[in-house]
Structures are given as structure tokens and as C-alpha cells.
Amino acid sequence: MSDGRIVILSGGVGGAKFALGAYKILPANTLSVITNIADDFVHLGLSISPDLDTLLYTLAGLNNEELGWGRRDETWTFMNALRSLGGEDWFQLGDGDLALHVERTERLKRGETLTAITRHVARSWNITADILPVSDDLIRTMVETDQGELSFQDYFVGRRCQPILRRLRYDGAAEAKRAAAVENALLNEKNRAIIIAPSNPYLSIDPILTVPGIRERIRQSGAPVVAVSPIVGAAAIKGPLAKIMAELDKEVTPVTIAAHYGTLLDGFVLDRTDEHLKGEIAIPTLSTNTIMSTLDDKKALAQDVIRFADTLATTRAPKGVA
Ligand code: FO1
């Protein structure tokens, strides 16, 4: 892989798998992952950042593969003790995971930014990629459903995404400032590609794109912008995406995802099973294996996507041209 920086926009599990593939094939310190923070919330007095934590655990090799969140080889002494006291046990906090939330909460109280705290944890775990919260301000996804307005974790974990989704809000996004490190990552002259990972567009990527200036900075960067479809066939690989799309009256197909990102994209990546849809997508499209079951799958997908972006760079208007 030649030099140049890669910027990935990511939510939780799907994005983290893709980011790990890129991380493993790229030289150290050439990857920035701009991450969703709208799933964050305060629980039992602790500041919890699920998508940042999934990326930290995944790139550090500490992630819990079975659960898809939290830490591997986890123990649950704290939760069992809490439960015995009648404490809230709907949101599981493992003993190792708890340390991360306690340390982040303490540092936030001391005035450190989420960017600085996340950088500290990444350094502590020898991660040589920048995991960047899109903003150091608060953004909260609120879900308007047939059971009323729900906070994101209440909807996602508390009620297992069962309520019927009517509308999503990203409270705070319109007022949030791009974190300085995000600004620098997007405008880095060495950017080779900006990649929207196969995360949920509505729950994970839109809260990033809604922060003022993010879309403009992505366009200004001059690097080719490519999105990887999180939908394969008419189903989501993981999570509630297909259900949410149906509830938003959107056709559950990768074509909807490409249209959702619109003019932001220079290219789109489909799974091979959806190759027949290429004709319905107006921009250059690559079809390859997007099902990431093994580490080799993740590395191969990252390789394919980056190489595809390279072909787009040559066909894009040179930087600064209107
Ligand atoms: N998801 C669950 O379905 N159940 C849990 O008990 C749970 C605990 C949890 C603790 C820390 C953390 O960082 C994530 C956790 N998640 C849990 C996942 C999380 O709610 C979602 O993965 C994201 O918010 C969606 O991307």
C-alpha cells in the first residue's frame, strides 16, 4: 500500500470490523476513524461511549466477539453485586469495561475532552490509529416511536429495537463543533481516501454528517469519498437496519443507501450478490465480498475499497477546481 492517509467514518460493530481490516493493512499512524458519539449516555453516573469503545477494543484486539460489544474474557462480579442490591441491570457493565467508563468519567470531570481521553486510552493499548469522536460536545440520538420518545440506549438495548420507529433526532448535533482533530484529519493534504464504513447510515453515520461543516470538509478534502453498503441483498448484516428502513418507508436495498449519501459519494461498494444493482446506482460502483467473517475478509475488503478509491482519485476533478 503506497503512503497517504485514510479517513473512515464509523459507528459500532460493522464499522469497527472494516476499520480493523484497514488498520491491519496500513502503515502505523496513517488511519483516522471519525466516530459516532450520539449513542453515548450517562448510566449509573458513568459516561459511556459505546461506538468509541467498540473501536478501541476492536483495534486493540480486546473486543468481545460473541457479544459484539464490551471487552473479551470479561467477568461480571460488579453486575452480579449490583443486581443483588436491586440496581439497574438492563445495561450490562463488565468488570474490565467498567474501568474504562470510570476512567473516562473521572477525566471528563477534570475537564479533559473526549478526544484527549480517547487518545489516552488508544495510547495505553498501543493503538497506532487515531480514533476521533466527531465532536467534544454532546450529541444524543433520540428515537420517536409508537411507544413515545426514547433515548437511544433505551430503544436499542432496553427495548431491543422492538418499538416502531417514526423519526430520528440527533439532539445537539446542529450546535456541535467539529473536534479539532477531526478538522485536521479531514483537511489533511495527504488524504488518499475518505471511506464511510458499512455502519447504519441512520443511527451511526448521519449523526456524524449532521455536525455542521462535516459534509463541506469532506468535499473540500479533495480525496475520493467511498461508502460500503451495510445492506447485502435485502437484509442488514447485523442490527436493526432493515427494520428501521422499512419503518421509514424506504426500500431495503443497497440502492437506497447510495442515494441516502447522495452527492457526497464518488464511489459505492456493493456485495457481489448485489452486482445486478450496479445499473441503478449513478456513481462508479465496485462489487466484492463485503461479508467480514474472518480477519482476512476484513483486510481484503479494506484493500479492495482503498484500491477502488485510488481509481476514482484519477477521474476526480483536481483539488480546488469547482
Ligand atoms: N448492548 C446490549 O445489547 N446489551 C448490553 O447490555 C450492552 C452493554 C454495553 C456496555 C458498554 C458498551 O460500550 C456497549 C454496550 N452495549 C450493549 C452495546 C451498545 O448499546 C450498542 O452496541 C451501541 O450503542 C450501538 O452501536
**Residue 198 belongs to a domain:** yes
* Residues in a beta bridge with 202: none
Tell whether ligand 1 has an atom less than 6 A from the beta carbon of residue 163. Answer: no
Residue 276, phi-psi category: left (phi > 0), alpha (psi -120 to 50), beta (remainder): alpha
Please tell me the number of Cα atoms within 13 Å of 117 on its side-chain side: 23
Using CA atoms, how far residue 147 sits from 156, 157, 184, 228, 306, in Å, is 13, 15, 41, 32, 42
**Residue 288 belongs to a domain:** yes
Tell whether ligand 1 has an atom less than 6 A from the beta carbon of residue 230. Answer: no
Tell whether ligand 1 has an atom less than 6 A from the beta carbon of residue 97. Answer: yes
Residue minimizing CA distance to atom 16 of ligand 1: 69
Q: What is the number of structural domains in the chain?
A: 1
- Among 46, 69, 98, say which to mutate for ligand 1: greatest number of ligand atoms within 8 Å of CB: 69
Give the structural domain span for 256. Answer: 5-64+114-313
**Residue 83 belongs to a domain:** no
**Residue 74 belongs to a domain:** no
Q: What pLDDT tens digit does each residue of the chain (322 aa) get?
A: 457 999 999 998 899 999 999 999 999 999 999 999 999 999 999 999 999 999 999 999 999 999 999 999 999 999 999 999 999 999 999 999 999 999 999 999 999 999 999 999 999 999 999 999 999 999 999 999 999 999 999 999 999 999 999 999 999 999 999 999 999 999 999 999 999 999 999 999 999 999 999 999 999 888 999 999 999 987 777 789 999 999 999 999 999 999 999 999 999 999 999 999 999 999 999 999 999 999 999 999 999 999 999 999 866 654 443 3
**Can you give the pTM of this predicted structure?**
0.96
CATH of the domain at 31: 3.40.50.10680
Tell whether ligand 1 has an atom less than 6 A from the beta carbon of residue 94. Answer: no
**Residue 75 belongs to a domain:** no
**Residue 84 belongs to a domain:** no
Q: Do 157 and 126 meet the contact criterion of CB atoms below 8 Å apart?
A: no
**Residue 255 belongs to a domain:** yes
Residue minimizing CA distance to atom 26 of ligand 1: 12
